[in-house]
Amino acid sequence: MSHVRDAGSQPGVMGRLAAEPVKVPASLSVLTPLVALFDLAWIAMLGGVAGLIYELVSHAFGTSAAGAGGGDLEQQIGIGLAVALLFTAFGHASGLYKTDNLVRRYWQVTRGTLVWLSVFLFLACLAFLLKVGASFSRGQVLSLFVTGLLGVAATRLLIVDICGRVIRSGAFRPNRLVLVGLAEEFCSNPALPRLADYGHSVQAKFALPASNSPVDLEERRQLIREVIRRVRETGADEIVLAIPWTLPELIHDTERALRVLPVPIKLVPDSSICRVLDRPVCELGPTKAVQLQRAPLSGAQRALKQGIDRVLAASGIVALLPLFAVIGAAVRLESSGPALFLQQRVGFNGRPFRIYKFRTMTTADDGAVIVQATRNDKRVTSLGQLLRKLSIDEIPQLINVLRGEMSLVGPRPHALAHDTEYDRLIASYAQRHKMKPGITGWAQINGFRGETPELGMMQRRVESDLWYIESWSLWLDIRILLATVIHVMKSDRAY
């Protein structure tokens, strides 16, 4: 039985994958310098265009860039050329122009934006150190920065679209591959059918026998000799091994036998380990490690979120002190007991804390069994109904925020009794504690607040909380805070 297959003769998806496009002398690697030259040209020209835009705006508002470090068109083009050279240099260092990366839309936009920000940060530091900032108009530089930021996003999308069309059209010779591995891996590996989308063409496949019987070992040696002969005849650019990582001896023997060839040999992750290698790879002392889970927030993000929380909480407490006094007095006048209600809750990393709320009930439950408030609950006072409907009873939690126990936005903390119950019923429930609890959250503005008589309702609340933790950004927090104001006025879930 033959274990060798020409890629063009294979049926189905893999056959379409490896259908060889029209051969022309230039390979897809020529896209790298072409895209870099394109970036040089449009950024250099943008320097002059941004200068003209700034001049037009200045004249429209009755001001002038002259005398404020402004320059002529040649100077603006010169600035644009300097930015263009730095952008292409930084982009090359960050892999922006690698052929495989040229068709990754999201990656191109985010990496291009990061490179653009890095260029201007570098220039700002350089101007500060050389004391030449006064030689340039801040308005013109800002104009170039803003227009360029938009231009980077637009050109990255254009580049991805054009490069994808070029690859599919076969206008350039693709990167020619020879696959060597196990037949089942050819069928089950999710990365192999997508090689053509990234400019690769599979010339032939060699399916090796997996066993180490004498007959299979001899057949494997013959196949390796055939691989060497085929690579030399066809001028293949690379050899790709598709062998399960659970067979290290087969990987080592195959790689050692193919060392006689002057071409790169690459090992793709097998179908069972692809998911793991999609995660970031980081340095760990003398070795490398795959990051299976990152911290919800980096150190800088935690500092930013906590700083904003405490500033807004302190400002809110000062501004709302009169309201605190009025509500506190009203609560005590309506029913006996303290104005504030303290209850044990679970916070960040499972640490318990005491949450502050205006008392809205005639009881102060904080034990092993706590009954959730229901519609028309007789324990809720008349004033308490209004406070709960408008979520005013939550305002004292600004004290918890100021103390660092809570955040303005985050998963809502539940009573200890409810935490114990749902932790047993919902497998992912404890993951909510990877971030500080909040006064409001993504689940609350999406309608998952108040009573949860059915387990499915709490499950959806937990899913919303976990999505927020994985998707956190400062802008998401701002969006939730603004949406909370609107949601409180419309919601009928708080009682």
The DSSP code sequence of 219-240 is HHHHHHHHHHHHHHHHT-SEEE
Cα separations (Å) of 22 from 10, 11, 171, 201?
A: 18, 20, 7, 11
What gap in Å lies between CA 221 and CA 254, rounded to an integer?
9
Confidence of residue 100 (pLDDT cuts 50, 70, 90): confident
pLDDT digits (tens, 9 = 90+) for 230-257: 999 888 989 999 999 989 999 999 999 9
Residue (of 200, 431, 407, 244) closest to 312 by Cα position: 407
What gap in Å lies between CA 453 and CA 123, rounded to an integer?
59
pLDDT of amino acid 367 = 56
Q: What mean pLDDT is predicted for residues 78-94?
A: 90
pLDDT digits (tens, 9 = 90+) for 193-205: 888 878 888 889 9
What gap in Å lies between CA 374 and CA 189, rounded to an integer?
52
What gap in Å lies between CA 97 and CA 91, rounded to an integer?
7
pTM (two decimals): 0.53
Share of the chain above pLDDT 70, in %: 84
pLDDT of amino acid 228 = 94
Residue at 321: amino acid letter: L
pLDDT digits (tens, 9 = 90+) for 101-156: 888 888 899 899 999 999 999 988 888 888 776 667 777 788 888 888 899 999 99
Query: Which segments of 245-369 are extended strands (E)?
Result: 265-267, 281-284, 287-290, 340-346, 352-358
pLDDT of amino acid 24 = 42
Residue (of 339, 352, 479) closest to 417 by Cα position: 352
pLDDT of amino acid 226 = 93
pLDDT of amino acid 92 = 92
CB 50 within 8 A of CB 83: no
CB 216 within 8 A of CB 209: yes
Cα separations (Å) of 411 from 25, 372, 424?
A: 58, 18, 18
Q: Give the bridge partners for 206, in sequence order.
A: 4, 180
pLDDT of amino acid 298 = 84
Mean pLDDT estimate for the chain: 82
What gap in Å lies between CA 45 and CA 80, rounded to an integer?
7
| Cα angle: 86, vertex 89, 92; to 5 degrees | 145
Confidence of residue 68 (pLDDT cuts 50, 70, 90): very low
Query: How, if at all, do strands 4-6 and 200-207 pair?
Result: antiparallel
pLDDT digits (tens, 9 = 90+) for 159-215: 999 888 888 887 777 888 999 999 888 888 888 888 887 888 888 999 998 888 888
What gap in Å lies between CA 158 and CA 299, rounded to an integer?
35
CB 156 within 8 A of CB 112: yes
What gap in Å lies between CA 69 and CA 79, rounded to an integer?
13
Q: What mean pLDDT is predicted for residues 476-482?
A: 90
User: 258 versus 365: which is more confidently predicted?
Assistant: 258
What gap in Å lies between CA 37 and CA 54, rounded to an integer?
26
CB 418 within 8 A of CB 346: no
Q: Is the pLDDT of residue 285 over 70?
A: yes
